[in-house]
A and B are shown apart, each in its own frame.
Chain A
Amino acid sequence: MCSILEEDFMYEKSTISQELCKNIDVLCKKCLDNIAMIKLQKKHHYCKDCFVNIITHKFRATLGKTKLIKPDDKVLIAFTGNQSSITLLHLLKLGVNEQIHKRFKFHPVILFIDESIFWPKEKRMVDLPKIMKALKNSGFKYYITKLSSIYDNYTFQDINDVNDISCLKENESDNKLLSLFHNIQSDTSKTDFLLRLRYQIQFKIARILNYNKIFTAENTTDLSIRVLSNISLGRGLQVSFDVAVCDQKIPDIYLIRPLREITSKEIVFYNVFNKIESLAVPSIFPMMVYNSLQHETELFVYQLQEEFPSTVYSVFHIGEKLKTYAVKENMCHWCHNPILLDTSGVTCLKESMVHIMSKYNWDKPDDKDDEEITNKNFALPSLLQRIPGYENAKQRDIAEWINGEIKKDTHCGNCISNRMTQKLKQSLCYGCQHILDDMKSLDYLPIGILHETVAEFQANELRKEIEDFLL
């Protein structure tokens, strides 16, 4: 009660002082001593020290609430180089250097996923070394990988020489990645797909390193924008996963968002007050991505925020309340969020596979004209071929099964058209299906992603056959 009175009093006093004498500085509402340097939600004024303390406290409180972090845990820190991820590194560094009773007992290990292939070349040359330096200065162990590692079994490296960025130089996989994104028609789907790929890489590498916890640097503002974008993208039922403090999309990995109670404005001021240089990681597709729904949503949120300073919090809390009662077994293969659909349609899978294979036998890639090759429906047979191990014993059952089917059945190749894509779609949630629809061709889809999808078809089909047999 006392604090409420105090707050009202302070608010009134500062408003008056501001109106009457512009030149008199507003004092911090917490220590009532120092000059206020930041104004939050149009009413809370804090000095540098009190503000930085508040942020540190919020960060520790969010982590504490999860009750998941145990002493000696190794945690993979997803570092992008953006402002929030720099704040995250700084907060972690403070935490591990605290006095003994407050010190973090877990061990952060950083993962930097290089997306600079999307940046202008001059920007790469200048900013990549800066990012390397920031990694080095963090004092933590760090690994580096590229977004294009989706084509290279998610390989990553640990680098000690910060001046050596040769491992990040352009390669064949980068070109595939560019083609993959080039093939996606809308900026909206590009942005959405990129988000999903990032998570995918984080999960894969966490698994390879045998870590079961990942921290991401997503802040309140990011997440409130995500809530609205998700709803518009048909991912409404996934909202609670995508903004949760602890997101367990994947059963064996906890994705934790320790900055989720901190807004983007707070991030910027935290960095300025701590004299941390922002690296200014440019938007993924500079000057081009501005046509995306996500960016429009971002502008919408910021615009509303000007008039209604609690917008971000309100939207964010709505997102928290949208709880899903999902069935764990039925997860989307791309985004790992639940698919809330009936999958009984899987039965026609076999038929499609047969069609695909027969199509492949009859029409060798050489015979196709350009238009057919770019048509995604014709791209799948060659994709099947590219699956590693397809020829190997490991995959022999798939091959045998398909061959058996071909002998039994010789459907016309013309009607395969959409069917394989349809099957692929069934392993995806509504939101990811939309991304698939937006791809002009599936040619550059990473084999890993495709492999898992096809393997799942096979598993489902076998299960179905066994079930039929038992009945």
Chain B
Amino acid sequence: MSKICLSNSFPLTVQFGGGAELLFNNTKKHDVILPQKENPWTLRLLIAWLKENLLTEKPELFVQGESVRPGILVLVNDQDWELIGELDYELKENDNVLFISTLHGG
């Protein structure tokens, strides 16, 4: 996989809902610019990056291992990530990634 992007930035929209935004500075929509990389950005890498760079509260409420915690749904451009390879999905520029929690806490 050679370099696909010629520009030196990788823009992406990341959204949170269902309470997951409480862990991200209580902000639902984040326009993020990922650093340019040799290998393609996958959802696996994005989750790790979010944990390091955007998460403001208790990581254990968002991540579990290298994935999101069970009960948090992931949609890319409104599509269920289960249909597109989950963690292995290769992100495209300007993708809209939505993390939405179905957990109540009670």
Contacts and interface: CB of A to CB of B under 8 A. Distances in A.
B100 to A, nearest CB: 5
B80 A282 contact: no
B106 A295 contact: yes
Contacts of B70: 299, 302-303, 305-306
B57 to A, nearest CB: 7
Contact of B83 (A39, A48, A283): A39
Interface string A8-48: 00000000001000100110000000011111001001001
B94 interface: no
A37 B19 contact: no
A42 B105 contact: no
A294 B26 CA distance: 25
Interface residues of B, number: 29
Contact of A268 (B61, B79, B85, B102): B102
A284 interface: yes
Contact of A299 (B71, B79, B82): B71
Contact of B98 (A39, A272, A305): A272
A221 B70 CA distance: 13
Interface string B48-85: 00000000011001000000011101010011101111
Interface string A284-303: 11110110101100110011
B83 A284 contact: no
Contacts of B102: 83, 221, 264-265, 267-268, 302
B3 interface: no
Interface hub of B58, B73, B79 (most chain A Cβ within 10 A):
B79
Per DSSP, chain A at the interface is helix
A284 B100 contact: no
Contacts of A37: 78-80, 83
Given A82-B104, A280-B22, A265 B73 contact: yes
A283 B104 contact: yes
Contact of A295 (B22, B73, B79, B105): B105
B89 to A, nearest CB: 9
B100 A278 contact: yes
A222 interface: yes
A287 B106 contact: no
Contacts of B19: 280-283
A377 interface: no
A123 interface: yes
B71 A268 contact: no
A462 interface: no
Contacts of B5: none
A284 B105 contact: yes
Given A265-B73, A278-B18, A306-B70, A222 B78 contact: no
Given A268-B100, A303-B70, A305-B70, A283 B57 contact: no
Contacts of A38: 79-80, 83
Interface of B: 17-19, 21-22, 26, 28, 57-58, 61, 69-71, 73, 75, 78-80, 82-85, 98, 100, 102-106
Going nearest first, the 5 A-B pairs with the smallest beta carbon separation are A283-B105, A302-B70, A191-B106, A264-B102, A302-B71
Interface of A: 18, 22, 25-26, 35-39, 42, 45, 48, 82-83, 122-123, 187, 191, 194-195, 221-222, 264-265, 267-269, 272-273, 278, 280-287, 289-290, 292, 294-295, 298-299, 302-303, 305-306
